[in-house]
Every structure is written in structure tokens, then in C-alpha cells.
């Protein structure tokens, strides 16, 4: 074979190899672009779902927090409602919360944050059961004092958690912060009322212990030197 023939064959082989390499690069690049495109669309979709969740759940949590505030200050605003025996009657109903009824993608937010939001349901159920036990089993009058004190303490904690979680969702979703108006004092005033209720509960329980023990007899009474 002449040198010219070998040169032609070599050039032909190089041309075919170049076409194969460029073709392979095109296939790989196309696959990478397809994956990148899908990743971008998925990421953008999750971001939008997360933002929608943050908006909807933030509003729900702040609404729940305000209902807890009503429970904490039940009977302390305006004229308290009493029955024919003079006992206080609750006017604010205890709130419920069902996060599963919200049509959002819960997997779009961190697991620990989702857990704390869902755990509010357990906290509300525990509060209701605790207050129910006071009404049924508290043997020391007046039961209404223990009833309202426990409502103030338990729902102050739940209400504060609602506003704290809502603030975290605002940050996560890039939402505006709460407007600084009179509502910004809601968590603080619930906390203050909780502390007052805890002090009153401690005093009441101390009185109950003294009543149950009675006055101890003086061992030197009735003796003479």
C-alpha cells in the first residue's frame, strides 16, 4: 500500500473518531442538561410549595395563638360571666388545631419544624385532659380557681409556641416579619399572665396542704413545770 493510501485511511479513521467523540459528548451533554433542567424545575417547585406552606401555616398558627390568648385572659377582660351561684363561667372556648387538614406539602420544610407543628395537637389534647381532670377529681374548693389557673398556664405555653413557630416559618419562607403593633405583645402578655397564675397556684396549693395537715398539736400543751 502506498503512503498516500495509508494517509487517506488514517485521515478517514480520525474523521470517524472525531465524529464519534463529538457524538458521545453531545449525548452526555444532553443528558446532563436534561438532569439539570429537571433538578432546577423540581427545586423551583419545592421552593414555591415551601413558600405557600409558610404563608398558609403561619396564618393558621397566629390565629391559633390569638385563640389561646383569649383562653388565657378569659374572665379577665371586661365583665366576667358568673352563674347563679356566683361561680365564674368560661366564655372563651379552647381551640383545636388540625394541621393535616391544610393542603400543603409538609415534606418541603425541615423535619424538626414539621414535628413541632404537628406536636401542637398533642399539647392541646394534653391541656384539655388536664383541665378535665381538675373538674372531675379536684377535691379542694374552689375548683374554679384551679380550673382558670391551669387554663392560663397551659394555653399560654401553647400560644407562645404558635407565635414562635410562625416566626420561624416567616424566616424560612422569606415572608415579611410581623408588623410591630399591639399584637406583638401577645406572647409577652401571655407569659406574664402565666407567671401570675403559677404564683396563685403555688399559694393555693400551699393553703390546701395546710388544710389537709391541720394544725399540729403542741407537745408541751397542758404540761406544767
CB atoms under 10 Å from CB of 37, counted, come to 10
| pLDDT at residue 223, rounded to an integer | 42
Per-residue pLDDT for 43 more than 90?
no
Q: Are residues 166 and 61 in contact, defined by beta-carbon separation less than 8 angstroms?
A: yes
pLDDT tens digits for 80-135? 777 777 777 888 999 999 999 999 999 999 999 999 999 999 999 999 999 988 88
Give the range with max mean pLDDT: 32-36, 51-55, 176-180: 51-55
Higher pLDDT, 114 or 11: 114
Calpha distance 56→103 (Å, rounded)? 9
pLDDT tens digits for 46-85? 789 999 999 999 999 999 999 999 999 998 876 777 777 7
Grid cell 379536684 is found at 138
Q: How far is CA 68 from the centre of its chain?
A: 13
Q: Are residues 190 and 160 in contact, defined by beta-carbon separation less than 8 angstroms?
A: yes
pLDDT tens digits for 140-177? 555 678 889 999 999 999 999 999 999 999 999 999 88
The reported pTM is 0.72
Mean pLDDT of 203-222: 64
Q: Are residues 57 and 162 in contact, defined by beta-carbon separation less than 8 angstroms?
A: no
Amino acid at each position: 500500500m502506498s503512503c498516500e493510501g495509508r494517509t487517506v485511511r488514517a485521515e478517514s479513521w480520525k474523521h470517524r473518531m472525531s465524529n464519534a467523540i463529538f457524538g458521545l459528548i453531545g449525548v452526555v451533554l444532553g443528558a446532563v442538561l436534561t438532569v439539570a433542567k429537571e433538578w432546577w424545575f423540581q427545586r423551583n417547585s419545592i421552593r414555591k410549595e415551601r413558600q405557600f406552606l409558610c404563608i398558609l401555616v403561619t396564618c393558621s398558627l397566629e390565629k391559633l395563638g390569638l385563640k389561646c390568648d383569649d383562653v388565657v385572659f378569659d374572665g379577665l377582660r371586661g365583665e366576667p360571666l358568673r352563674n347563679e351561684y356566683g361561680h365564674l363561667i368560661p366564655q372563651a372556648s379552647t381551640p383545636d388545631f388540625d394541621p393535616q387538614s391544610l393542603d400543603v406539602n409538609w415534606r418541603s420544610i425541615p423535619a424538626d419544624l414539621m414535628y413541632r407543628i404537628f406536636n401542637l395537637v398533642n399539647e392541646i389534647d394534653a391541656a384539655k385532659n388536664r383541665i378535665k381532670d381538675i373538674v372531675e377529681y379536684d377535691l379542694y374548693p374552689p375548683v374554679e380557681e384551679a380550673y382558670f389557673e391551669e387554663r392560663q398556664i397551659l394555653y399560654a405555653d401553647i400560644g407562645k409556641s404558635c407565635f414562635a413557630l410562625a416566626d420561624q416559618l416567616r424566616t424560612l419562607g422569606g415572608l415579611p416579619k410581623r408588623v410591630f403593633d399591639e399584637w406583638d405583645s401577645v406572647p409577652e402578655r401571655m407569659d406574664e399572665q402565666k407567671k401570675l397564675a403559677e404564683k396563685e397556684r403555688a399559694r393555693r396549693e400551699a393553703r390546701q396542704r395546710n388544710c389537709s395537715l391541720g394544725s399540729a398539736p403542741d407537745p408541751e400543751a397542758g404540761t406544767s413545770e
